[in-house]
A and B are shown apart, each in its own frame.
Chain A
Amino acid sequence: DVKVTQSSRYLVKRTGEKVFLECVQDMDHENMFWYRQDPGLGLRLIYFSYDVKMKEKGDIPEGYSVSREKKERFSLILESASTNQTSMYLCASITAGVGNNEQFFGPGTRLTVL
């Protein structure tokens, strides 16, 4: 069974803290994605990565950074958490190449910033 796992299901942090959200996939996928999901706004792409050490900005990268040191792991970093970053964060992965855009999603991390 293909699997995308995220380090925490629920996380509570304080304003100004540095926050790390980890995502690991066991499918040897090249491409990985971080989304946030908010009511009324759907899923919005924050960052994505096509390969180790490569990253590209998505639609809402402000306030976030990412790290991809190993193929299976994609980390989302909130350098200084703010209350408007309270959200559900979803990680996804997909194999590279033309053919199928089926994304595999993790269970999500619900982050609350106080």
Chain B
Amino acid sequence: DAKTTQPPSMDCAEGRAANLPCNHSTISGNEYVYWYRQIHSQGPQYIIHGLKNNETNEMASLIITEDRKSSTLILPHATLRDTAVYYCIVSKNTNAGKSTFGDGTTLTVKP
């Protein structure tokens, strides 16, 4: 699986959009981008994933650049409960879950 690079930490004001970047310059054609988050003292939670096109669900939006070398997770209206570590992972779907999680980005949402 390709490796990813994320900033170690970010702050966001409550109610504003949080934009979390991820670089995955060595991504290959059949690898997907997945995002998870981990709230303190809990297991990671799946947020969203995508291959080429932008994706949106009830939790977030995922924007993948045309060359697929980077992506951005957007939380449109961050709340204090969104404070967590966010992990960007690149994985082939055929790996059936065998993924490498790095250190992620610690997002702190401030009132």
Contacts and interface: CB of A to CB of B under 8 A. Distances in A.
Nearest to B102: A42
Contacts of B34: 101-102
Interface stretch (A13-21, A70-78, A90-98): A90-98
Contacts of A104: 46
Interface residues of B, number: 24
Contacts of A106: 43
A91 B43 CA distance: 8
Contact of B97 (A40, A42, A59, A94): A94
A98 B94 CA distance: 5
A107 to B, nearest CB: 5
Contacts of A108: 41-43
Interface of B: 32, 34, 36, 41-46, 49, 87, 91, 93-104
Closest 10 CB pairs of A and B: A105-B43, A94-B97, A43-B101, A102-B46, A42-B102, A42-B101, A105-B44, A98-B93, A103-B97, A42-B103
